[in-house]
A and B are shown apart, each in its own frame.
Chain A
Amino acid sequence: DAEITQSPRHKITETGRQVTLACHQTWNHNNMFWYRQDLGHGLRLIHYSYGVQDTNKGEVSDGYSVSRSNTEDLPLTLESAASSQTSVYFCASSESSGDPQETQYFGPGTRLLVL
């Protein structure tokens, strides 16, 4: 079955280190998204992509970057991890058929702790 996976599921790192979180989907969806989820906040959009070589900043993009070299993957990189980036990160994807209301489907999440 088609799915969306994230790795690692749990990660502990130190302040200042570069961290990359992986997201892989087998639905062949054009659109991919990265969110973070924190207590007291709803899911907040970090970056998103509408296709290969396309990336866009979301609501909380500072300190994060993404690249899209193929349809299946959208890795999220924390250039220099900060304690404020301790969070649960979710990747999502949606089909792009010209209908703007396409549903986003979410991965299982990565829990990141920055010490």
Chain B
Amino acid sequence: EDQVTQSPEALRLQEGESSSLNCSYTVSGLRGLFWYRQDPGKGPEFLFTLYSAGEEKEKERLKATLTKKESFLHITAPKPEDSATYLCAVQAPQGGSEKLVFGKGTKLTVNP
């Protein structure tokens, strides 16, 4: 069964303190790995898609990387507005469907 595990469950950082969130997965034939940001009371907001090991994508203070077994979301010099829950999801061949399997998320709090 395809599984996605995110760690840590929660992370508290001081403003400017860089860190990384982890998403490990066990799927056969990864088609894509997605990162989303979710603010309280809102729907997930798309951040990145990674397709193959070695790929990296950046957006402002965020950089996502992908290996054959895991992905990291690196946060450089975070600001309080980066506080949110970050969700990881993977897509694997399932009869041609586009179904995603989500992890439980990492709740990030950045203190000023």
Contact = CB atoms under 8 A, between A and B. Distances in A.
Task: Say if A and B assemble together.
Answer: yes
Contact of A43 (B32, B41, B44, B93): B44
A45 B94 CA distance: 14
Contacts of B41: 109
Interface stretch (A13-21, A70-78, A98-106): A98-106
Contacts of B43: 90, 92, 106-109
Interface string B26-65: 0000011010100001111110010100000000000000
B42 A103 contact: no
* Most chain B beta-carbon neighbours within 10 Å: one of A100, A102, A105: A100
Interface residues on B, range: 20 to 34
A92 B102 CA distance: 14
Binding site secondary structure of chain A = loop
B98 A100 contact: yes
Nearest to A35: B102
Nearest to B102: A42
Interface residues of A, number: 25
Given A101-B51, A108-B43, A41 B104 contact: yes
Interface string A74-115: 000000000000000010101010001111111111000000
B28 to A, nearest CB: 15
A103 B33 CA distance: 10
B96 interface: yes
A48 B95 CA distance: 14
A46 B46 CA distance: 20
B98 A94 contact: yes
B78 interface: no
A40 B104 contact: yes
Interface in B82-108: 87, 89, 91, 93, 96-105
A100 B87 CA distance: 20
Interface of B: 4, 31-32, 34, 36, 41-46, 49, 51, 87, 89, 91, 93, 96-105
5 tightest Cβ-Cβ pairs between the two chains A and B: A42-B102, A106-B43, A101-B32, A43-B102, A106-B44
